[in-house]
Structures are given as structure tokens and as C-alpha cells.
């Protein structure tokens, strides 16, 4: 009887210890999620106006290329239409991703909960854990500079990527979507000088063609 009581006591202590460790890990995961959520909210708010400028500036030049291509003729007009359409697609894709990211941070509590789930998922995969450690090391706008680690998403298991894809908010801050976001941002930035140059060429070509 005494041995049984001791065994039960040891078992109870072991259960309590395991429960305490699990609770401690869960609390740490929640803290990481909340901290990252706050960092991302600040970063998105700071980048809201600059990204809006990136969207608005090339629009008149894209429109000019399309209009001049439509009213033009021959191969030059066709090239302008194709170029204008391609630039419009890039601009629309960046607008859509920007809109979804802004929506993702509208409720920091929900975002923090999803990031907590994301951290729990990463306990199974070291590569993903490394990526998220780099994310939490960032502050303010700098957090997006650290998202380059997300390019390692190609080496992550398909199961992990599938589970992350089910998180409507957190998925935009984890591989593979963060990689496409970075690509779209770079493309939108380059779209400004490219659209200006093409619009100038379109105007010159249209004037030359009318002479």
C-alpha cells in the first residue's frame, strides 16, 4: 500500500511537472505571438502611406501607355498595350496584397492568436522556427527586412505550408506568401521609373508617328 501511494505520488508529481513545463512553453509562445503581432501592426501602419505612394505614382503613366497604345497603330501600339497591361497587372497584384496585409493587422488580438498557433506549428520544424526567430528579432519597419529568411520556405514540409495556409491573417507573414509579398513590393518599386520611361517613349513615338 505504501509503495502504491509513493508510486501515485511520484506519478502525480511527474504529471504536475510536465503540465508546468507545457504551460511555461505555451505562455512563452503566447508572448512571442503577441510581441510579433504588435511589431507587425506598427510596421504596417508606418508603411501604409509609402506603399500608397508606390501605388498611385505610376498609375497616370500606365494609363498613358494604354491610351496611346489603343489610339496608336502598328507594332508600336501593340507593344504599348502589352507593356501597359503588364504594368497594370503588377500594380493590381501589389494593391491586392497590400490590402490583405492591412486587413490582417486590423485586429491585433486575432493576429496574435494566429501567430501563437504559427509558433506552435514551428515546434515540429526547425527551419520554420529559425525563420520566426528572425521575425521576432525585428522592430518596426525593420521586421520586413528580416523577412528575407522566408525564402527558405521552399525547404519547408508541404504539411507545414498547408497548415500555415489555413491561418487567414498570419499566413501573410510566413512562407511562402511573405516571399511573394517581397517580390511584389520590389516590382512595384521598380514600376515607378519603368512606367515613367515607357510613358515618355510612348509620347515621343506617338508624336513622331503623327508627323
pLDDT in tens, 55-97: 999 999 999 999 999 998 888 899 999 999 999 999 999 999 9
Instruction: Please compute the mean of the pLDDT values over residues 38-53 and round it to a whole number.
Output: 90
pLDDT greater than 60 at residue 136 = no
User: For residues 65 and 1, what is the distance between their CA atoms, to the nearest angstrom?
Assistant: 90
The predicted pLDDT at position 68 comes to 93
pLDDT value of position 132: 55
For the chain, give the percent of residues with pLDDT over 70: 64
Cell 491585433 belongs to residue: 108
DSSP 211: -
The model's confidence at residue 193, banded by pLDDT at 50, 70 and 90, is very high
Is it the case that residue 177 has pLDDT exceeding 60? yes
Euclidean distance between CA atoms 62 and 92, whole angstroms: 12
Q: Which residue has the higher pLDDT, 13 or 185?
A: 185
Instruction: Report the pLDDT averaged over residues 127-156.
Output: 53
Computed over every residue of the chain, the mean pLDDT equals 76
Dist. CA 143–CA 35, nearest whole Å:
12
Q: Look at 14 and 91; give whichever has higher pLDDT.
A: 91
The region of weakest confidence among 57-61, 108-112, 116-120, 142-146 is 142-146
Q: What confidence score (pLDDT) does residue 26 get?
A: 45
Most confident listed range (111-120, 171-180, 188-197): 188-197
With pLDDT > 90 as the criterion, what percentage of the chain qualifies? 35
Q: How far apart are CA 200 and CA 171, in angstroms?
A: 40
Beta-sheet strands, E only, within 50-174: none
Q: Residue ranges per domain, the chain?
A: 2-210
Amino acid at each position: 500500500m505504501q509503495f502504491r501511494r509513493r508510486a501515485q505520488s511520484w506519478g502525480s508529481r511527474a504529471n504536475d511537472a510536465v503540465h508546468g513545463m507545457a504551460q511555461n512553453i505555451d505562455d512563452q509562445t503566447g508572448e512571442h505571438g503577441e510581441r510579433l503581432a504588435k511589431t507587425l501592426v506598427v510596421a504596417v501602419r508606418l508603411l501604409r502611406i509609402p506603399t500608397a505612394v508606390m501605388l498611385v505614382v505610376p498609375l497616370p503613366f500606365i494609363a498613358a501607355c494604354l491610351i496611346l497604345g489603343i489610339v496608336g497603330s502598328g507594332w508600336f501600339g501593340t507593344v504599348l498595350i502589352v507593356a501597359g497591361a503588364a504594368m497594370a497587372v503588377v500594380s493590381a497584384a501589389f494593391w491586392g496584397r497590400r490590402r490583405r496585409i492591412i486587413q490582417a493587422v486590423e485586429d491585433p488580438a486575432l493576429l496574435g492568436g494566429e501567430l501563437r498557433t504559427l509558433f506552435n506549428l514551428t515546434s515540429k520544424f526547425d527551419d520554420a522556427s529559425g525563420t520566426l526567430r528572425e521575425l521576432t528579432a525585428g522592430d518596426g519597419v525593420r521586421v520586413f527586412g528580416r523577412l528575407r529568411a522566408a525564402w527558405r520556405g521552399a525547404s519547408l514540409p508541404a504539411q507545414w505550408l498547408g497548415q500555415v495556409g489555413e491561418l487567414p491573417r498570419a499566413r501573410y507573414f510566413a512562407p511562402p506568401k511573405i516571399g511573394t509579398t517581397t517580390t511584389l513590393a520590389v516590382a512595384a518599386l521598380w514600376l515607378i521609373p519603368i512606367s515613367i520611361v515607357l510613358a515618355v517613349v510612348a509620347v515621343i513615338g506617338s508624336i513622331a508617328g503623327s508627323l
